Amino acid sequence: MRKYFGTDGIRGKVGTTPITPEFMLKLGWAAGQVFKEHDKKILIGKDTRISGYMFESALESGIVAAGADVRLVGPMPTPAIAYLTRTFRASAGIVISASHNPYTDNGIKFFSAEGGKISDEIEERIEYFLEQPMEVVESSMIGRAKRIDDAAGRYIEYCKGTFPIGLQLSGLKIIVDCADGATYHVAPRVFSELGAEVISIGINPDGLNINEFSGATKPELLRKNVLAEEADLGIALDGDGDRLILVDRHGVVRDGDDILYIIANHLMRTGRFSGGVVGTLMSNFGLELAFSETGIGFSRAAVGDRYVNEKLMQHGWVLGGEPSGHIVCRSITTTGDGIIAALQVLRAMVEEGKTLDELLAGLVKFPQKLKNIRVAKRFVPNEEPALQKAIAVANERLNGLGRVLLRASGTEPLIRVMVEGRDDKTVDELVEYLVEEVKAVVASKVDA
């Protein structure tokens, strides 16, 4: 059991333990103790939230106190840190970010020397040192800190290098929404240097507006701009650049399931696809059905890009993602990358000469409805006999053409009820039925 690390690093409200300067100082020291055993160099990047500067300084102090060196890259997308950690041959990369959360939150993510998420064992090692007294190495052994000035340019060239030489985006008008986050100085340049006409929004971070008005979690502003500018495509990234949501020329918002469908089928049509696709428990049943019709294998992982990556490696597959827009193209990079995923969609559009909506013509999504029930104490719904019976009743009515999912939230005291089916009426009725059954179980636990 880990005390601080969750499924995606350490995250919380700024000023509340563990997201405090004191903790970050100790975390930097603990990380320095672990990673200097392999190499003395640790890379640190961050998104644009105001607290990032405070935590960057604290981490830097802790790392050098442990005797490890630091390389600072400033505001950069999370996937850029994964890439730069590899290219600089660092022993680890640290990202100061709370991803799509508001500026009042922050967090820490670690990358291994290979650019992947660190193992459970390394997290446990870091937590071990967090419990030890902090001792500074001798003055002659204190680490050194340097700033990398060309980090943005390096990452831009890397992204462009994933797009085929000779292929251009000329003739395409694209709206790029950077959520006032870490991609503000990177993403617009990638697409414009590949030939697109780019109109950028969400590129004026002030430390407080990250994810506030725009980005992957709030695509309405992008949708309005796509329609007003009569653009071919809208690209929405989240605050740290690892999520991607698209808007087509008609203003329809397209999620991670749509993106997986486009990339997988384009790879299939061009003879470059092998294996299958990994989705999650939240992936639409229509996506699974569409893949089965085209002979593309499909497997579901638990919710979280970490679990998607684990299942991809387990199967030896290279493409996976979540409806939220975390898309992993393991043949190109080691982690979810919004810019690179967008480039794969644009490649399909250019090489096939089709619009985004035309590429999605074969995907028919099932109506999906999700409701949350707050509980006083978490429990596992599938272990409750009454809910097992209710799920069986719902599945019988769906008759194989839909899905029922009851699960406990991993971060909040909630039970999530999700139903997919062929028609809205059936879905609505089954969601309400299951919600009442969950509430009855909750009430029985309170009475007991």
**What CATH fold (topology level) applies to the domain 368-447?**
TATA-Binding Protein (3.30.310)
Choosing from 99, 112, 200, 283, the catalytic residue is 99
Tell me which residue of 319, 322, 75 sits closest to 205, measured CA to CA: 75
Given a contact cutoff of 8 angstroms between Cβ atoms, the answer to whether 59 and 96 are in contact is: yes
What sign for the dihedral angle of Cα 179, 183, 189, 191? negative
Question: 155-359: which CATH topology?
Answer: Alpha-D-Glucose-1,6-Bisphosphate; Chain A, domain 3 (3.40.120)
Residue extents of the structural domains in the chain: 10-149, 155-359, 368-447
| Nearest alpha carbon to residue 329 among 348, 343, 315, 346 | 343
**39 φ, ψ to 5°?**
-160, 150
pLDDT tens digit at each of 448 positions of the chain: 689 998 789 999 999 999 999 999 999 999 999 998 767 899 999 999 999 999 999 999 999 999 999 999 999 999 999 999 999 999 999 999 999 999 999 999 999 999 999 999 999 999 999 999 999 999 999 999 999 999 999 999 999 999 999 999 999 999 999 999 999 999 999 999 999 999 999 999 999 999 999 999 999 999 999 999 999 999 999 999 999 999 999 999 999 999 999 999 999 999 999 899 999 999 999 999 999 999 999 999 998 888 999 999 999 999 999 999 999 999 999 999 999 999 999 999 999 999 999 999 999 999 999 999 999 888 999 999 999 999 999 999 999 889 999 998 766 788 999 999 999 999 999 999 999 999 999 998 876 5
Query: What is d(CA 213, CA 440) in angstroms, rounded to the nearest whole number?
Result: 39
pTM for the model: 0.92
Domain 10-149, second-level architecture: 3-Layer(aba) Sandwich (3.40)
99: annotated active-site residue: yes
Tell me, yes or no, if the two domains 155-359 and 368-447 fold the same way.
no
Q: For residue 154, how many other CB atoms are within 10 A of its CB?
A: 16
The Cβ of residue 85 has, within 10 Å, a number of other Cβ atoms equal to 29
